[in-house]
Structure 1
Amino acid sequence: MSFFMEPGFDYTITIPDPNGDYSKNKEDCDFKFPFDEKKKPVIILFGWAGCIDKHLQIYSQIYEAKGFMTIRFIVSTKSMFLSKQDIIPISEKMVRVIEDLNIVNQPIFIHCCSNGGSYIYQHFAEAMKSSKKQFRIRGMIFDSAPSRTSTTSLAAIRRMVNQSKYFNLVVALFFQALCFILWFSELIGNVIFRRNIIQFEPMKYLLEEENKFPQHFIYSKNDKVIPYQDVEFFINKRKSIGVEVSIKCYTDTEHVRHYPMKKYTYTQSIFNFISHCLDLESSMV
């Protein structure tokens, strides 16, 4: 495992042991993938806003237990909300990281956590358009995402602070007011200098995304941060433009807590999705 820090983001690359036995682990029993060992999937994970690596690693270990290579990306909260112009060079650097790994012949799956991970993917996908290499992205997993940010910003900020109820509310209100002031200042600056306005609205941009690979959604009707109605609206919209969609909907799990609370079914839904996508690729060869 290799950990790297860059201005505004950090990333961790985990390469499986070529001699390791990944045929079985305690979370997925004896699930087996029908793929060539030399072409194992690579998983790119984008963390939620306020995420730290040791928490995102919990999710990458799902894939590492099967011998998959993983790359975990985490963008600083400052670059997501306060210095939003940073996300463009950050996403370009992320693409270069993938290019340098020379994994173009392996199928790639992307795992986004919450709106923060969806926002990173939004700009990563845009940066990929300028790459000289063709990425073999075969599927995408949304965990607790996406949603309209206007309906979830307060709840998300309160969850990031993770203190007492009233302290969270005060800090969330202050932070949202600060974001509004900075956004307004940025808007004026963008008008004066004629720069593009970057908004934290991943759902708005991903609704019409041109990539049409299959997408898997894991969400909950008990999520207090991301309304399930937003996720289902997004799902139906993607279906309407021809994207193949699968879902795993819970009724009692919390935001970005589906895996800790439902490890077996969460893992199975992901592995079934990846297996199906690999079958689709094999049928097209």
Structure 2
Amino acid sequence: MSDDGLDYNIVFPDALISERHWHETKEPVVILLGWAGCRDKHLTKYSSIYNKQGCVTIRYTAPLKTVFVSEPFGYKELSNTAKKLLEILYDYDVENSPILFHVFSNGGFMLYRYIVELLHSHKQFSTLCIVGAVVDSAPGSGNVRGALRALKATLGPKINIMLRFVLLALFAVTVFLLRVVLYPLTKYIHRNHFDAFRDHPPSWPQLYLYSTADQVICFTDVELMVRALKGKGISVESIDFKTSSHVSHFRDFPEEYSKLCLDFLTCCMKDSEGTRTRKRHLVQR
């Protein structure tokens, strides 16, 4: 459905299923943030993992232009999108439920970065209870080759060859200049998602799912982020699937992937029970 310009989908589970899994506890709300070019039918496969467990799910994928144009040029359109997405929780009266994020690739992580910043600074969202986050195939930092592969895959085979070449060339030059050559200066105006998140991460538990075979997001970037978060005392788990390609871990290892996500959610819910009376996990300053 569309609301305030957002093309999102929300699914409420059957009440009996929720009661069976969560008893007298409020069922969790899982917010899935898709990768660039992701179709809702793809996210539906992931949301079904949680729906079968009695969770409410919200699916949303940021438009391509915000990921590949607005963000590289420093236009913070995703910040407004993040605010609208969090406001959906109030529209459906689920703002008092435990919330888990499931984030895919840099396209989802860029939006997640702004959500975290809002949870840190915006009074309206200070009562939200975030219990954890699953991050799939992200984040990547300054990887021009990977960004090009992501854009090429997103454009698809049907686009005119010359047009594709021009778009890829312009994108490569832009990213290289703004995110590599000029970044020591531009970072004071607009920090990339990787640096901003690493310096001011949330304190809730996080699970990173990645692969050394990923040709879009360099596995060393993910491992660098994991080490940085652990160094700040944050509870972080990471799983290297080794052979699966970008955002394909669930496709290649469906049972293991589903079990990891649900086990992590269960642990996050148990950990949050003792702190449920707090407004939410504090975001580190």
TM-score band, normalised by shorter chain: 0.7 to 0.9
Structure 1 residues 58 and 172 mapped into 2: Cα distance closer, same or farther (>3 Å)?
Answer: farther
In the alignment, which residue of structure 1 is the partner of 2:45? Answer: 58
Structure 1 match to 2:132: 139
What's 2:250 paired with?
259
CA distance in 1, matches of 2:67, 2:216: 17
Structure 2: any 5+ residue segments left out of the alignment? 277-285
1:1-285 to 2 correspondence within 5 Å? 3-4=1-2, 6-7=4-5, 9-20=6-17, 35-83=22-70, 84-128=75-119, 129-133=121-125, 134-151=127-144, 152-163=146-157, 167=161, 170=165, 173-177=168-172, 179=174, 197-198=189-190, 201-284=192-275
CA displacement at 1:20 relative to structure 2: 4.4
Question: What secondary structure does 1:39 align onto?
Answer: coil
- Report the AA paired with residue 9 of structure 2: T
Structure 1 counterpart of 2:44, which letter?
Answer: Q
The letter for the 2-side match of 1:173 is L
Question: Any idea what the Cα deviations from partners look like across 1:166-209, whole Å, max 9, x if unmatched?
Answer: 9597366235157559979xx9xxx9xxxx9446x321111122
* TM-score under structure 1 length normalisation: 0.81
CA contact (8 A) 2:83 2:115 kept: yes
In structure 2, the CA distance between the partners of 1:48 and 1:22, relative to structure 1 (3 Å rule), is farther
> How many residue pairs get matched?
261
TM-score calculated relative to the size of structure 2: 0.81
Give RMSD over aligned pairs.
2.9
- Verify the 8 A CA contact 1:14 1:69 in the aligned structure 2: yes
Q: Is the 8 A contact 1:158 1:171 kept in 2?
A: no
Change (3 A) 1:75 1:5: farther
**Cα shift at 1:126:** 2.0
User: What is the distance in 1 between the residues matched to 2:128 and 2:259?
Assistant: 26
Runs of 4+ in 1 over 3 A off after TM superposition: 19-23, 35-38, 166-169, 177-184, 196-199
Q: 1:153 offset after TM fit, Å?
A: 1.2
How many angstroms does 1:21 deviate by?
8.1
Shift of 1:22: 8.9
Q: Quick one: distance in 2 between partners of 1:182 and 1:12?
A: 36
**Residues 256 and 239 of structure 1, relative CA distance in 2, 3 Å threshold:** same
- Distance in 1, Cα, partners of 2:194 & 2:94: 28
Is this contact kept in 2: 1:110–1:140, CA < 8 A? Answer: yes
On the 8 A contact 1:22/1:65 being kept in 2, the answer is no
Structure 1: distance between partners of 2:93 and 2:7: 19
Asked if the contact 1:140–1:215 (Cα under 8 Å) also holds between the matched residues in 2, the reply is: yes
- Indicate conservation of the 8 Å contact 1:95/1:127, yes or no: no
Q: Distance in 2 between matches of 1:209 and 1:18?
A: 37
Deviation of 1:67 after TM superposition, in Å, equals 1.5
SS at match of 1:163: coil
Counterpart amino acid of residue 210 in structure 2 = Y
Deviation at 1:140, TM superposition (A): 0.5
**2-structure distance, mates of 1:52, 1:20:** 27
The 2-side partners of 1:284 and 1:206 are apart by 24
> How far apart, CA to CA, are the structure 2 residues paired with 1:180 and 1:264?
37
Cα distance in 1 for partners of 2:189, 2:80 equals 15
Judge conservation of contact 1:81–1:179 (CA < 8 Å) in 2.
no
Mark the runs of 5 or more structure 1 residues left unpaired by the alignment. 24-32
Residue of structure 2 equivalent to 1:27: none
SS of 2:32's partner is strand
Whether the aligned pair in 1 keeps the contact of 2:9 and 2:59 (CA below 8 Å) is yes
Q: Indicate the larger mover: 171-180 or 87-96.
A: 171-180
User: Is the contact made by 1:154 and 1:172 (CA closer than 8 Å) also made in structure 2?
Assistant: no
Deviation at 1:81, TM superposition (A): 2.8
